[in-house]
Amino acid sequence: MQILSSALRQAAATDLVIVCGVPFPNRLQSTKAMSLVTSAHAATTVVYTFDPATSGGVAGTITTLVGAASTTITADLDLTKANFTALKEMDDSCTDVDVDEFTWHIHTKWDNPGKVSEFLSGCSLARTANHYDPDFAC
């Protein structure tokens, strides 16, 4: 968790990170919902918002409380309307696979101006760059 904490602290400072709430192997993602709150104890709350219109049907938030020594991550995601058909069509490794496990990763770039979330081609390497991937989802 220390590596994650460091990555999120850096992300909050640079404002360039994307969180992916991804069904295995990867694709659904969201940018930070531009919601930063800093306390006297150097903790920062960052809320990532998933807009179902642009994130393949996923709705909800992932909230991170980034402190000096640790990070708390809370996910409140509704995947009941997620477009798993489109995911399977886009990614050859998803064919004939039931999604029963969800993993996540953090991207280092967001190149989808004016959007708070994206899906499929909006999540390409060119638009999101490389990432820190603690669960090896990608």
Kindly report, residue by residue over 88-109, the tens digit of the pLDDT. 777 666 666 676 666 666 666 7
In sequence order, the β-bridge partners of residue 124 are none
State how far the Cα of 56 lies from the Cα of 49, in Å rounded to an integer.
13
Pick from 13-27, 38-52, 68-82 the range whose average pLDDT is largest: 68-82
The rounded mean pLDDT for the chain is 64
What residues does each domain of the chain span? 2-132
Kindly report, residue by residue over 106-128, the tens digit of the pLDDT. 666 778 788 777 777 777 778 88
Q: Please, is 46 exposed, middle or buried when counting C-beta atoms within 10 Å of its C-beta (0-12, 13-18, 19+)? A: buried
Kindly report, residue by residue over 46-71, the tens digit of the pLDDT. 888 888 888 888 899 988 887 777 77
Percent of the chain with pLDDT over 70: 49
